[in-house]
């Protein structure tokens, strides 16, 4: 099982990198292990170079116990899991349009992007903006912990998205949907838009 999870994590990292959704050695991914603890990406490794045999292992307390040195955002991932007991995976990227939106003045920190499409509402919901912290600053962990229970998708100001999902695929797809919606939002700047109404958005919470 762990071997399959390691391979899946790397396949997703390679795919994200190949499609230009994160660059250089930016971004990090983690997944919960069925036997306890987490598999996380090592620090300073490009998503395109992830190797299933070279991933970091954390125990159930978030301590590094095996493999190469984990991402410097380990506390960010563990803060997400701490607040969301149902989360099985977390993805953080530097996807361009999401980062661009994170820099805009006059966005609503409680709900950064309008409900442009149904798919966005279903995959992301209310996107919370987190104030700027230097990457790797442990103070980011406590701030994130305060919002993550209500929001599985967070946008770190002047940095990028962090998204939790039930499993790797869910976290990946939600992060990709966030990036595409950020792109649409930027494309629509200067245009009058007609987002979904609150009633239309609310109706998406129940399955047809």
CA dist list (Å): 192 to 18, 99, 165, 180, 187? 34, 23, 32, 19, 12
Coil, strand, or helix at residue 192?
coil
Q: What is the distance between the alpha carbons of residues 164 and 167, in angstroms, rounded to a whole number?
A: 8
**135 is a site residue for ligand LB5GJZVW (CB under 6 A):** yes
120 among known catalytic residues: no
HSE-CB of 140 using CA atoms within 13 angstroms: 24
- Closest approach, Cβ 195 to ligand LB5GJZVW, in A, equals 30
Site for ligand LB5GJZVW in 30-89 (CB under 6 A): 43-44, 71-73
Any contact of residue 170 with ligand LB5GJZVW (CB under 6 A)? no
Of 17, 119, 120, 173, the active-site residue reads 119
Closer to ligand LB5GJZVW by CB, 5 or 90: give it.
Answer: 90
Residue 104 CB burial class (10 angstroms; 0-12, 13-18, ≥19): middle
Kindly tell me which of 91 and 201 has the beta carbon lying closer to ligand LB5GJZVW: 91
Q: Answer yes or no whether residue 26 interacts with ligand LB5GJZVW by CB under 6 A.
A: yes
> Under the rule (CB under 6 A), what is the footprint of ligand LB5GJZVW?
25-28, 43-44, 71-73, 92, 94, 135
């Amino acid at each position: 099982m762990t071997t399959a999870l390691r391979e899946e994590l790397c396949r997703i990292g390679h795919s994200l990198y190949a499609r230009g959704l994160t660059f250089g050695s930016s971004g990090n991914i983690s997944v919960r292990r069925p036997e306890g603890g987490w598999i996380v990406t090592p620090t300073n490794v490009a998503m395109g170079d992830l190797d299933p045999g070279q991933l970091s292992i954390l125990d159930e307390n978030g301590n590094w116990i095996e493999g190469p040195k984990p991402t410097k955002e380990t506390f960010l991932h563990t803060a997400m899991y701490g607040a969301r007991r149902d989360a099985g995976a977390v993805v953080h990227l530097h996807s361009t349009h999401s980062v661009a939106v994170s820099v805009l003045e006059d966005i609503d920190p409680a709900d950064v992007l309008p409900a442009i499409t149904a798919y966005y509402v279903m995959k992301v919901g209310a996107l919370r903006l987190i104030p700027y912290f230097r990457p790797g600053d442990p103070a980011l962990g406590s701030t994130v912990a305060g919002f993550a229970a209500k929001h599985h998708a967070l946008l770190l100001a002047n940095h990028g998205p962090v998204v939790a999902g039930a499993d790797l695929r869910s976290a990946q797809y939600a992060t990709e949907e966030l990036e595409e919606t950020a792109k649409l939002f930027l494309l629509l700047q200067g245009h009058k838009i007609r987002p979904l109404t609150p009633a239309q958005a609310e109706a998406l919470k129940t399955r047809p």
